[in-house]
Structure 1
Amino acid sequence: MSNTEVVDVFLHYLSSKISLSDAELDQIRTVSIVKKLRKKQYLLQEGDVWRYHAFVADGFLRTFSVDEKSNEHIMNFSPENYWTGDRASLSSGNPSRFYIEALEDSAVVLITDQNFQGLCKRIPQLNELVNAILHRSFIVSQDRIHSSIALSAEEKYHHFLEKYPGISNRVPQHMIASFIGVTPETLTRIRRNSTKK
């Protein structure tokens, strides 16, 4: 995919959500930076300050942290047409606790926070879209917290398959286990039991 095609995917996504004039599309195009990542390449590393709004135009990324025992904890998967980044680092200016890694060759559209805030001021419907996305992601986070507290390991796995049907065949099982908060061995047992039913 050429850089122009990557930005076109982003603009098409925005146009499918809100009504934008050609002049507004040009404003967005002007500040859009294309970042291409090879599989296993990082968009963000722990300790770096995150400064962008990032849209995945192509490919697939994951956001994760690593604890003191070197265990990975996956916070998010971001396939195409999803946003990614570290909002806490972006808003505070503090170093990130997370890594964002490409699980496939990927293309991401980056807009610096300063440029993004400027766009939101000039294009009110973009600001409304961002608020709607933040609202949805808050609900998703609440749902995940509830699942991790209230559901059994088996229920967590089935909840994951229900919520993210397109993701389960794109990531290794150990990453699904990390995302839902169970050990790979537990997930293997759950999957074995599911196939017996």
Structure 2
Amino acid sequence: MYEIFRQYLDTKIKLTADESLKIQECAIIKKVRKHQYLLQEGDVWKYDAFISKGCLRTYAIDERGDEHVIGLGIENWWIGDRESLLSGNPSKFNIDAVEDSELVLFAHQNFEKLCMDIPAFGNMVNQILQRSFIASQNRIQAALSYSAEEKYRSFLEKYSVFATRIPQNMIASYLGISPETLSRVRKSVSKKH
């Protein structure tokens, strides 16, 4: 599992053997079975987490018991609850495995030290956070201004890999539309192709 993360790092940055070893020594390997929680609402999130295998989702449950998928993650993506991590407050979210998954976790204090001690690693993390922020802005803009069909088309353009890996009800929740609306939109989109 760690080997996948090391290969990921090799595609992003140049590390000395000593730097690579420092990172590996801080890594915690975690396996999560399908439907198993990585984080439950009310717990404090304490890690920076890289997905080396599998698919996970971040979601909230409203007062009616409806799930709202906030985020999705697959191989070579990072996942977690940034607000809980930085504030120390209990999380409002759940993170669970959509598929059997394997992760490389870093206790946040160790992760921050790695970012300080290894400038290339810190720069890589900063770039990831910037891209994540931009993706969040784009998602908010789409949620506020796109039609259901535009949301689905945009989802397929950006995240087509999820269309075959997660159930349709989770896609609908991620898009902020009902499963029935998603079914209608999918039929309409397939007719146009």
Pairing partner for 2:119 from 106, 118, 124: 124
Give the 3-state SS of the residue equivalent to 1:48 in structure 2.
Answer: coil
Which residue number in structure 2 is paired with residue 12 of structure 1? 7
Which residue number in structure 2 is paired with residue 32 of structure 1? 27
Give the 3-state SS of the residue equivalent to 1:97 in structure 2.
Answer: coil
Give the 3-state SS of the residue equivalent to 1:166 in structure 2.
Answer: helix
1:88-119 per-residue CA deviation (whole Å, 9 max, x = no partner) reads: 00000000000000011100000001101111
The one-letter amino acid of 1:55's match is F
Partners of 2:125 and 2:191 in 1: how far apart? 44
Which residue number in structure 2 is paired with residue 3 of structure 1? none
Partners of 2:154 and 2:82 in 1: how far apart? 25
Which residue number in structure 1 is paired with residue 154 of structure 2? 159
Pairing partner for 2:84 from 82, 85, 89: 89
Tell me the TM-score normalised to structure 1 length.
0.96
Pairing partner for 2:135 from 137, 140, 144: 140
Instruction: Give ranges in structure 1 of 5+ residues lacking alignment.
Output: 1-5
The one-letter amino acid of 2:110's match is N
Which residue number in structure 1 is paired with residue 73 of structure 2? 78
1:111-146 per-residue CA deviation (whole Å, 9 max, x = no partner) reads: 001101111111001110111000000000000000
Measure how far apart 1:16 and its partner are. Answer: 0.8
Give the 3-state SS of the residue equivalent to 1:100 in structure 2.
Answer: strand
Which residue number in structure 1 is paired with residue 55 of structure 2? 60
Give the 3-state SS of the residue equivalent to 2:161 in structure 1.
Answer: coil
The one-letter amino acid of 1:156's match is K
Percent identical residues = 53
